[in-house]
């Protein structure tokens, strides 16, 4: 067993102890890596993982893009809030949320009550490089997706900044970012529990 593996097991055990029955909730814009990093953190911490968009698609038997098209953003956000509220009751665990979820006051309050929020913050170039690989993003189905992303950043970053923990994500291995998230969570929870 390497020193790195031993260190990570110790960090995972410490995180689980500090976390108690709370849920780690990843927030941020599309392309920030919430699902990839969330899944990695859940593996390291030995906790179940859920992706709210995937859960919404399972519950509705429709894709997020189809839900947006058929019912509009307001109805989608209402469904999203119900799904996240349900997922928060399945504790402890790790949840990745859709980019707009944390913008809802009620969802944000539910996350604050049952979990610890982690904002994966990324710059525009990182986000655009990632999201343009997937043409399924309903909000980016426009002639100028970069302008839409910049507008979303302007509107959402001040709200995302209310998250308990912020970790800058970039083009690096998800293992590196996940380790940074674990360390930031341990530091935050240690300070909060002191």
- What's the average model confidence in pLDDT over 153-171? 95
Architecture, CATH, for domain 19-182 = 3-Layer(aba) Sandwich (3.40)
What band does 113 get if pLDDT is binned at 50, 70 and 90?
A: very high
Both tokens of 46, joined, read: 């030995």
Q: What is the pTM of this model?
A: 0.91
Exposed e or buried b for every residue in 71-101, given b needs 16+ CB within 10 A?
Answer: eeeeebbebbbebbeebbeebbbbbbbbbbb
pLDDT tens column, 49-98: 999 999 999 988 988 888 888 888 888 888 889 999 999 998 789 999 99
99 DSSP 8-state letter: T
- What's the average model confidence in pLDDT over 141-167? 92
């Amino acid at each position: 067993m390497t020193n790195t593996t031993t260190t990570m097991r110790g960090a995972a055990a410490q995180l689980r102890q500090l976390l108690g029955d709370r849920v780690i909730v990843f927030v941020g814009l599309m392309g920030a890596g919430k699902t990839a990093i969330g899944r990695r953190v859940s593996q390291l911490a030995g906790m179940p993982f859920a992706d709210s968009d995937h859960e919404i698609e399972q519950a509705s038997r429709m894709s997020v893009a189809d839900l947006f098209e058929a019912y509009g953003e307001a109805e989608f956000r209402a469904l999203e809030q119900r799904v996240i509220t349900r997922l928060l009751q399945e504790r402890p665990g790790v949840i990745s949320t859709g980019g707009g979820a944390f913008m809802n006051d009620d969802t944000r309050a539910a996350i604050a009550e049952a979990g610890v929020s982690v904002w994966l913050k990324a710059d525009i170039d990182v986000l655009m490089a990632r999201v343009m690989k997937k043409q399924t993003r309903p909000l980016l189905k426009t002639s100028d997706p970069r302008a839409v992303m910049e507008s979303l950043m302007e509107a959402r970053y001040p709200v995302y900044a209310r998250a308990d923990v912020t970790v800058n994500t970039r083009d690096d291995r998800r293992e590196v970012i996940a380790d940074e998230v674990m360390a930031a969570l341990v530091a935050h929870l240690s300070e909060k529990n002191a």
